[in-house]
Structure 1
């Protein structure tokens, strides 16, 4: 079995990323884990043949968050003065949400078990979340006397709204998959044995579309979280202008009239760049 902190496998145009620290319930700790997110995302961004990705966890948990044993022992990220700990977070776990912010490929969280603390936030960093019916979620930082140091107070309200995010963050309550679906934290709940199949099927439906247009659409969704309507319309117009001049757009239109499935390019050679 691979010892990589994140296992990477290809399934056609779909990438499967598996957190591979089941002994710590896939806790987010250590330089190797932080660097793996950055390296894999950079490689995926550079490869236009990767059109979508799925993130899941090895073992019984999706991600247990931070390493509580290191918190107890004041080692790793949790060692030093208050100023040193803040610096540790910037140089450590905060690299993960920053890496997600740069990821151009649409990514689905397949939450196979507990998503606790930073694990809940990790799911929120993904574009889409699907849960096994056995999954559990908690924004539980207050339960161990700390705050969401990985950006959870920015991420969670954008997924479930301010009031519910405040309730979860201030109580630290654990919710089940059914409640996660009810509040919009996840978009689907499926039997545990069918989770990966369902997530991969969704990923394949996404990956059936033009690769560059998928990335532009994701960028518009990201920008839309904080932009005005005028800014969003301006960006959409620029991307649309470029999209109309891609080979994949011409292929999609031809396929529509010829009543056949389109065949989209992988290498991006005919795709214009990002607007400035």
Structure 2
């Protein structure tokens, strides 16, 4: 949940121009047919995050109409997200919110429930009926890094700077980012990235699997739109089945995965043939 010392970068471009479905607490959701765009709208603070923004992100997930197949996540201004707002580390915390210091005084169950509530902002992006794309420019630090990791795919600008600063602050990555990070880069590299808190820049991010594509900052929005169009070209049910098949592969044995492939393909063949269950 960390934030950077300072930040530079380039704008990630404009929103779709659709009428917002949601626009509150630093989060705007717009929907254009099959594509939804979730935008962090606090560029003056490098889209730093707080509990109100997390609640708005969770609400955005609940507000998606059934027509949506692709969700694009982006941040206004020069940085995707600089991580947790530093005000969280003050005794006062945020107005109307229990400070982190106050939360620490609660019972184990109360503290667990509070963190679980924060995590809801980061968990819906991998729903089986959606494909999510993070368009990442500038800083993606701590909570910002974990938010980018929450998505299925990441398209990044050449100026991107990923870093996981939690451990440096005496904390751990607790916003559902550790699982996808290990899945993408392996346990040893994930450990090194988290424990050192160093920056991972665009070229390395692409090389180690954090980024699916690296483009100049001015081409970020266009590249994401092109990727979204490519994802929409395949039939929705086939996309959903393939995503579920790949998501479960890591937890299955080779033979279990082959069985899952057979079952999924049987469903697809029957669907294409118009044969019901």
For the superposition of Structure 1 and Structure 2, which TM-score range results when normalised by the shorter chain?
Answer: 0.7 to 0.9
CA contact (8 A) 1:78 1:88 kept: no
Instruction: Label 1:155 to 1:271 Cα distance change in 2 as closer, same or farther (>3 A).
Output: farther
Q: Distance in 2 between matches of 1:50 and 1:61?
A: 26
Q: Structure 1 residue 78 and structure 2 residue 96: aligned? A: no
Q: Structure 1 residue 38 and structure 2 residue 95: aligned? A: no
**Between Structure 1 and Structure 2, how many residues are aligned?**
248
1:157-191, Cα deviation, whole Å (9 max, x unpaired): 11111121111001000122122112221021101
CA contact (8 A) 2:158 2:215 kept: yes
Shift of 1:103: 5.2
1:120-135 matches, within 5 Å, as 120-135=145-160
The equivalent residue for 2:84 is: 66
Q: Structure 1 residue 87 and structure 2 residue 118: aligned? A: no
1:118-175, Cα deviation, whole Å (9 max, x unpaired): 1111111111111101111001112322111213322211111112111100100012
1:232-258, Cα deviation, whole Å (9 max, x unpaired): 333332222221133xx46xxxxxxxx
CA contact (8 A) 1:22 1:58 kept: yes
Q: RMSD of the alignment, in Å? A: 2.5
Instruction: Label 1:70 to 1:224 Cα distance change in 2 as closer, same or farther (>3 A).
Output: same
Q: Distance in 2 between matches of 1:36 and 1:271?
A: 41
Larger relative helix fraction: 1
Instruction: Label 1:237 to 1:12 Cα distance change in 2 as closer, same or farther (>3 A).
Output: same
Q: Which runs of 5+ in 1 are unaligned?
A: 251-269
CA contact (8 A) 1:51 1:214 kept: no
Shift of 1:272: 7.0
Shift of 1:202: 0.5
Q: Distance in 2 between matches of 1:119 and 1:104?
A: 24
Shift of 1:203: 0.8
1:204-259, Cα deviation, whole Å (9 max, x unpaired): 1001111122122212222223222333333332222221133xx46xxxxxxxxx
Instruction: Label 1:271 to 1:19 Cα distance change in 2 as closer, same or farther (>3 A).
Output: farther
1:1-276 matches, within 5 Å, as 3-4=23-24, 5-31=26-52, 33-44=53-64, 47=66, 49-73=67-91, 75=93, 76=97, 78-80=100-102, 81=104, 83=108, 84-91=110-117, 93-102=118-127, 104-246=129-271, 249=272
Question: What's the secondary structure of 1:18's corresponding residue?
Answer: strand
Q: Distance in 1 between matches of 2:231 and 2:136?
A: 18
Question: What's the secondary structure of 1:123's corresponding residue?
Answer: helix
